[in-house]
Every structure is written in C-alpha cells, then in structure tokens.
Structure 1
C-alpha cells in the first residue's frame, strides 16, 4: 500500500515538470492573481479619485498588515490539508493580555512579549488537540475560536483599555521615513522572507507539500507528520499573537472583540492566492498577491462610494470563483492525463510484436 501511495504522490507532485520552464513559471494561478492585481491597480489609478494619494497607501497597508502577517503561517497550515479558524480569536486574546499587563504596570515590551507567548501557547493547544489527540483541525479550531474569544471577552467584559505608551502607539502608526509605507511592513517583509525560504527552499517545506498530497505516504517516507503540524500551529499562534499586539497599538484599544471575523479574511486571501483547500499546493507570492488584491479592491471600491455589503459580496464571489476554477482546472488536467495515457496504451499495443 505504501508503494502505491508513494507513487501517487510522486506523480501528482512532478507531473507539471513535463511542461516547459516558462509555462511552469508564468502560466500559474499565482501569476494570474498577480496579473489581476496589477489590472485592478491600473484601473483604480485611472478611475478612482484620490486612490494614488500617499494617505490611501498608508491606511491600506496598515489595515491589511495583520492579515498579511497571519496569512504566512496559514498558508503552510492549509498546504498540509489542515486549517486554523482560531487566529482572529488569538489576536483578540493577545490584545486583551497586552492591555491588562500594561495596565498592571509592566513595561510595554515585557507585556508584548508575554502577550505573544499567550498566543504561542494557544497555538500549541490547537496543535496538541490536532496531532496528539487526533481531532480534526476544523472541529478543534471552531471550538477554540469560541474558547479564546470567550476568555478575551470574559477578562475585560464590555470595557476597553486605551492607555498605552505614546512612543509605542506612535511607532505602530509611523511610516518609513520619506515613504507612505508603514513601519509594520519591515517585520512583515522579514517574516515573509523567512517563511518563503522555509516553504520553498528547505526539506521542511517539501515535507509540507508531501503531507498535503498524501500524509500516509509522507509518514512512510520518514516525515514526522505530527510534529510538523504541531510546529505549524505553534507558528500560527505566535504570529497571531504578534498581530494582536500590533492591532492594539494601531487602534490604541484593547478589547475582547478585536479582529472579529478576521479569520475569514485571512482564509479567503490564502485560497484566492492559489493555495488548495485540499492541500499539497500553493506559494507565498500568490498568497501575498491575494491579500493585496482583496485589500486594494476594497479600498478602491470604498473610495468610489460602494457600500461594505457590496464589497463583501464581491470578495465572496472572487473566493468562490478561485475555488471553482481550481477544481475545474484539476478536472481538465485529469481528463487530459487520462487521454494521453489511453493514447500511449494504444500505441504500445499496436507496436507490440504479434506471436
């Protein structure tokens, strides 16, 4: 059985390498999303008033920064055919912890580190339930979504903490000198490079694709599937904790309901960026383009006077089209592969010597 599974994974993983290099590099879902992103930018620059103002760029990047951050570990998780729906609740919980610890008199850097640690522990709890207990990640993270949010709301109730050191809130809102780009883009770029190297240029990254394609075959090839998935959930919790600290400083507000619904925005952007919900496929440059596409499209539509309800409908349609198109392309590819196999079989039978 393991030999058959290994052969299936190998075939699924390397069949695209039969195509020329330029087709593998350019004719991909990721490049299609990047092309659509550039098209939306060009149209918005032409048709939307004030879209090209530095203030628009600043507010756009500030707003999508938490989504960009959380999308990095979420990409790796979904590639392994798992999911984490609790990320926004971890953002809210770490935000509350940042406020409570700062209010208690701790220096803000210490409070921030402890809040990130709380997010890391929350991610480890998810990983434990998924990899050790053996529960499905969808069910686990739906449960912890409510659990972590309930703890966050329970700690503060309906109150909010708004008193934070001014030098830190100013830093969260500051731009890189001489540009409209917020400072938060610096740690994002660093993390994006780290995650890109980890995913695309290391044996660890290759093991993630193998797990997503066939976890049994990955196990028999020597990959510690449980430990790998556990580490991914820990990463997700840590990055979500960091996003919670940034969210708190950006809005100078620690509340239990902070980032409510953000998990859906993250997952929508990851899937739109070309990551397969069935695992085994995806790339970080497509995911980053997906986040930017949703953010820029929403910003342009708001500037054009479109209501938030219509923007949500458009985003939902884009997500559905991305999933449907992926399934359609996979179906076409399977039909083509089957047809090629039949033709090769007929040629082999025709050329076989007759006795």
Structure 2
C-alpha cells in the first residue's frame, strides 16, 4: 500500500521568494525614481523628497483599512465623503465656539458613526453589494456636508493645529511618523492575529467561514467602522494641511485609495494580498505624482500612467510567464 505524506510547510525557494508581487513593485519604484531623476535635476533632493510625503500621506491612512475591506471581497467608495463630512462638522463646531480639541474628537466620532452605518447596512441588507451601499452613503454624507456649509469654506483653525499637516519631529515630518506607526499596527493586525486570519478566510469563502464559527457579520462591521475612523483621521491631517475645509474636499480620494490597494497586489476577488504591497504602492504613486509634477506634466497624463500601472497589476500575475507571481496572504 502506497504511503501518503502530507507536507504542512513548503521548503524555502529563492525563485518563489523573488517572484512575489512586492518585488515587482520594488522594481517599479526604482524605475520611477530613475525616470524622475532624468526628468528634473531638482527631484533627487532629500529634503524635497521628505517634504513630498506630506502631499499624499493623508489619503494613505485610508489605504490601510481599505486593504482589509478588499481582502474581504468588498469595497468602500464613501471614504472621501466621510472625510468631507467629518472635517465639515469639526470646522463648523470650532467656528461656533467649541474648543478645537473637542471638535477634533467629534470629527473622529463622525467618522466612526459613518463607518458603522456602512457596515450595518451591508450586514443587514445582504442582497445589496457593498459598492451599492457605499455609493448611496457617499452621496448622503457629502450631501450633508453641503447642507451644512453650502459651497463655503470653514476653518481659521488655531496655529497649533497646523502641526499635524506641516510639523516635524526632528528632521522627519510628523505625518510620516504617525503613518509609520499606523502601518505597523495594521500590518500586525492583518498578518499576526486571529482577526486578520478571519478576514482572509472570509475573503476566500464567506459561507465556509460562517460555518467554521467565524463571526462574519461582527468582523465585517468592525472593518467598515475602522475604515470610517481612519477616514476621519485623514480628515484631520487634510484640514490641518489646508488650514480650512469645505464640502468638496478629498474629491476623487476614493479612486486614488482603491488604485493604491489594487496596485499593491490585493486581489479584487478577495482573500489574497499583503499590507506591504499596498504601502509600497502608496509611495510609488505618491512619488510618481511628485516627480512628474516638477516638470508640469498634465494631470490627465498622470491618470493614464496610473491606469496602465493598474492594468499591469491585474494582468501580469494571470499571464503564463507570470504564473509564479505570488499574492499570498
């Protein structure tokens, strides 16, 4: 009788290691730096590169929970509207005499509430997809912001508030330090905890996960609520950087965030991808925009380039010669 051996762990392979999608992102990242250096003599300046992160890291906070959402096989396109609403409420309260510290807490509370509503609707109305639910709440949240301020700006925030978006701790931007802390925390949560393993399981097969004892509804609501919170944190940094806010802020952020997550190797079908890929994609797209902006490349050209990168991200792992590219969880 033939003996069958079950192997629970694969032997390490350098080939498999270097065929991971993240290495493709590293090569793209290097290529973009080389291209930008050739386009502008002012690009390779350490102070400028450091300061450039302030221009795109506010939306990077939303990328972190969006990784969880897309691994679940869902999507949230209301995040930009949550930024608009939470920042509008904060500014309006401050302009009516509420202390800024309390207004900031309310901003976070509004984000949490919006995310909770998204999760609750998705869980309670299973016949509706996440894209339909969040499309509806996207319109509602931004609509409320317009009702509050119409097309006016609000702000005149205290001087100390600008430290969030423009401050430094030594030579390092404060926003970069905060993002690094959050990125490490979200990476740990996704890859090293039972919660993260449950998210991967739900993305692979939600029904099987439910019968395996995973609290599917609870986890989904937690992920969407967390996304609302991170959107509100992004609102704090964006409002600080702008010095004010208005109902149309962060327009298009949801598309940028989804582009970063997809380019980072997160499967749109759910169940696959790693946090490090999404983080690499944040800086890849961020420095691409910065470098091409130095030579006044039109925004439409940037969109074409980012679109091509997304096609590469989706298509290459499916090609025969890219069969070995890995997007493991």
Q: Which stretch of structure 1 is more off in the superposition, 221-230 or 70-79?
A: 221-230
**Equivalent residue for 1:163, pick from 156, 162, 177:** 156
8 Å contact from structure 1 (residues 172, 183) kept in 2: yes
Decide which structure has the larger Cα Rg and report it.
1
- 2:7 and 2:31 map into 1 onto residues whose CA distance is 31
CA distance in 1, matches of 2:132, 2:9: 36
Are 1:243 and 2:200 counterparts? Answer: no
Give the superposition deviation at 1:56.
2.8
Does the 8 Å CA contact 2:317/2:323 hold for their aligned counterparts? no
Shift in alpha-carbon separation, 1:226–1:44, aligned structure 2, 3 A: same
User: Secondary structure, in 3 states, of the residue corresponding to 1:184?
Assistant: helix
Q: What is the alpha-carbon distance in structure 2 between the residues aligned to residue 168 and residue 91 of structure 1?
A: 17
1:230 aligned residue: 221
Secondary structure of the corresponding residue to residue 168 of structure 2: coil
How far apart are 1:309 and its partner, in Å?
Answer: 1.0
- 1:332 Cα offset (Å): 4.8
**What is the alpha-carbon distance in structure 1 between the residues aligned to residue 157 and residue 289 of structure 2?**
30
Give, in whole Å, the separation in 2 of the partners of 1:62 and 1:274.
24
Identify the residue that residue 120 of structure 1 maps to in structure 2: 112
The answer to whether residue 77 in structure 2 is matched with residue 74 in structure 1 is no
Cα distance in 2 between the residues matched to 1:23 and 1:110 = 53
Tell me, in whole angstroms, the C-alpha distance in 1 between the residues paired with 2:159 and 2:264: 37
Secondary structure of 1:158's match? coil
Q: Structure 2 matches for 1:188-207, cutoff 5 A?
A: 188-207=179-198
Unaligned runs of 5+ in 2: 1-5, 325-329
Gapped regions of structure 1 (runs ≥ 5): 1-13, 334-355
Q: What is the CA distance between 1:27 and its match in structure 2?
A: 1.6
Residue 26 of structure 1 corresponds to which residue in structure 2?
18
Alpha-carbon distance between aligned partners in 2 of 1:332 and 1:20, rounded to the nearest angstrom: 18
Q: Hey, what does 1:49 align to over in structure 2?
A: 41
Is 1:173 matched with 2:166? yes
Q: Distance in 2 between matches of 1:157 and 1:300?
A: 35
Q: Give the Å deviation of 1:60.
A: 2.1
Question: When you count helix as a share of all residues, which structure comes out higher?
Answer: 1
Q: Tell me whether 220-229 or 322-331 shows the greater mean CA deviation.
A: 322-331
Counterpart residue number, 2:206: 215
3-state SS in 2 of match to 1:169: helix
Deviations along 1:195-236, one digit per CA (max 9) or x if unpaired, are 111100111111111111111111121111111111000000
1:276, CA displacement in angstroms?
A: 0.3
TM-score, normalised by the number of residues in structure 1: 0.85
Query: In the alignment, what sits opposite 2:249?
Result: 258
Counterpart Cα distance in 1 of 2:46 and 2:154: 30
Shift of 1:321: 1.9
Q: Over residues 253-273 of structure 1, what are the superposed CA-to-partner deviations in whole Å (9 max), with x where a residue is unaligned?
A: 110000001000000000000
SS in structure 1 opposite 2:77? Answer: coil
Paired with 2:8 and 2:97, the residues of 1 have a C-alpha distance of 57
1:139 pairs with 2:132: yes
Q: How many residues align structurally?
A: 318
Match among 25, 36, 54 for residue 28 of structure 2? 36
Task: Calculate the aligned-residue CA RMSD, in Å.
Answer: 2.1
| In structure 2, C-alpha distance between the alignment counterparts of 1:257 and 1:159, rounded to whole Å | 10
**Structure 2 vs 1, CA of residues 279 and 330 (structure 1 numbering), >3 Å: closer, same or farther?**
farther
Compared with structure 1, are the counterparts of its residues 55 and 307 closer, same or farther at alpha carbon in structure 2 (3 Å cutoff)? farther
Task: Report the TM-score when normalising by structure 2.
Answer: 0.91
Gap change, CA 1:49 and 1:213, over 3 Å in 2: same
Cα distance change, pair 50–331 in 1 and its aligned pair in 2 (3 A)? closer
Aligned to 2:53: 61
State the match for 2:86 in structure 1. Answer: 94
